[in-house]
Amino acid sequence: MLTSADDFPIHQTAEPVATPATSDRNAYDRYWFNGYDRDGGFYFAASHGLYPNRFVADAHFTIGIDGVQHSLHASRRAPLDRFDLTVGPIGIEVRTPLKVLRLYVEPNEHGLGCDLTFTARAAAIEEERTTTRNGHHVIMDSTRLTQLGVWSGTVTLPGGRVLEIDPATTLGTRDRSWGVRPVGEREEGAPKPFNPMLWLWTPIHWADEVSLWASFERADGRMYHVDGKRVAATPLGAAPDPAAVPLPEDEPAFARLTPHRHALTWVPGTRRIRGGEFHMTDENGEPFAYRIEPIGARGLLAGLGYLHPEWGHGVWQGELKVGYESWELDKVDPLRFDRQHQQQVIRVTELTGAGRVGVGVVEQLFFGPHVPYGFTEILDGYAG
């Protein structure tokens, strides 16, 4: 079926744009954002996902502040028009591709809303393609771009409190990913073997550049997917000029980094990172390492539907459904299965070079044994 997108030269197959190149039910196309006060006062995040072979689109907005995480969820029948980025009250506008995007949540009965603009500090980073398998079955095959920038606008909390979002102090990251990944209802068939995993992702703002670490590893600590990059950025604290941010086709000078070691500490009785070090090398073999320290604000990505028992990604909820929930972060069971995907705002101190200080997030998803850190079960807490 034709849509307005077919009037643009963006086709990758002989089919109209609305027809996916794969018939895999787990095909997806996703926007994702986070933002945070650089002093750790709050953390927010948002996502929009399209699952064309499930005919579902969903979107989420969540914010953690004063120890409480508020989340708004929305789901609808997927539109054929790929330029329609609305799900209920939640929407996205691409104002200048790879530079400026608007995220908004219109007024709704739950009182959680926002009108925010993301402005990039640096060129978008194309991460290495991620392909993972369970046995011979490909369960994830995706490409992702990651971009760091600043936020401006407002967030409205339930009860009417309005946060003024200052781009001088509110930083963040966005990503776009597409391909195939596990979404929707649980697949049937014979039981599959459990694959322990530790996922770590640290996009970091420095004064004049940004950097990224991404890794998957197995129970024995061996990394089977690694990626790292650093690239120049507009000065931190100043209002970014979108014209000064190069597009990828302008061939900005990305420096490739290879993650090879981390030394993490854990909050006792949990699987939440308490601090630690990340060590990489650049293309010339020179070390690049930093120490991280959580500084307060954090968010459970169940607030964006990840692992959520009701609002999981790609699950059919009806023609349109909107819901709200909140929880006190310190009262959530730290070993609850569907609360293991999480991010924390971190202060970052460089251990190589001039000892610079930056800020970012550490994201983790951690299930199963991990020999180097002493975890032995699917979800045992750190014993110390």
pLDDT tops 80 at residue 159: yes
Task: Please identify which residue in the block is written with the tokens 């996703």.
Answer: 30
Give the confidence band of 197 by pLDDT, cuts at 50, 70, 90.
very high
| Distance between CA atoms of residues 184 and 315, nearest Å | 5
Predicted confidence at residue 158, as pLDDT, reads 98
pLDDT tops 90 at residue 76: yes
Q: b/e string for 278-308 if b means 16 or more Cβ within 10 A?
A: bbbbeeeeeebbbebebbbbbbbbbbbbbbb
Q: Show the domains of the chain with their CATH numbers.
A: 27-181+194-373 (2.40.370.10)
Predicted confidence at residue 369, as pLDDT, reads 98
Task: Please identify which residue in the block is written with the tokens 């997927």.
Answer: 78
Q: At 287, which amino acid appears?
A: P
Please check whether residue 381 is in contact with residue 268, taking contact to mean a CB–CB distance below 8 angstroms.
yes
Task: Please identify which residue in the block is written with the tokens 């095909």.
Answer: 27
Strands 68-77 and 100-105: unpaired
Give the confidence band of 135 by pLDDT, cuts at 50, 70, 90.
confident
Rg from Cα positions in the chain: 20
| Distance between CA atoms of residues 260 and 274, nearest Å | 20
The rounded mean pLDDT for the chain is 96
Predicted confidence at residue 342, as pLDDT, reads 99
Give the confidence band of 365 by pLDDT, cuts at 50, 70, 90.
very high
Give the mean model confidence (pLDDT) for residues 132-144.
87
Neighbours of 15 (CB within 10 A): 12
CB within 8 A of 268, min separation 6: which ones? Answer: 381, 382, 383, 384
Classify 62 as helix, strand or coil. strand
Give the confidence band of 136 by pLDDT, cuts at 50, 70, 90.
confident
CB within 8 A of 159, min separation 6: which ones? Answer: 111
Give the confidence band of 238 by pLDDT, cuts at 50, 70, 90.
confident
pLDDT tops 90 at residue 87: yes
Give the mean model confidence (pLDDT) for residues 310-326.
98
Predicted confidence at residue 188, as pLDDT, reads 79
Question: In residues, how long is the chain?
Answer: 384
Q: b/e string for 203-228 if b means 16 or more Cβ within 10 A?
A: bbbbeebbbbbbbbbbbeeebebbbb
- Among the ranges given (11-25, 75-89, 100-114), the one the predictor scored with the smallest mean pLDDT: 11-25
Predicted confidence at residue 192, as pLDDT, reads 81
- pLDDT > 70 fraction of the chain, expressed in percent and rounded: 100
Give the mean model confidence (pLDDT) for residues 35-41.
97
- pLDDT > 90 fraction of the chain, expressed in percent and rounded: 88
- Among the ranges given (68-72, 129-133, 320-324), the one the predictor scored with the smallest mean pLDDT: 129-133
Predicted confidence at residue 248, as pLDDT, reads 85
Give the mean model confidence (pLDDT) for residues 350-355.
93
Summarize pLDDT for 243-280 with one digit per residue, the tens. 999 998 888 889 999 999 999 999 999 999 999 999 99
Predicted confidence at residue 246, as pLDDT, reads 94
Task: Please identify which residue in the block is written with the tokens 């649980």.
Answer: 186
Model pTM score: 0.96
Give the confidence band of 144 by pLDDT, cuts at 50, 70, 90.
very high
Predicted confidence at residue 249, as pLDDT, reads 87
Backbone torsions φ then ψ of 51, nearest 5 degrees: -125, 80
pLDDT tops 80 at residue 384: no
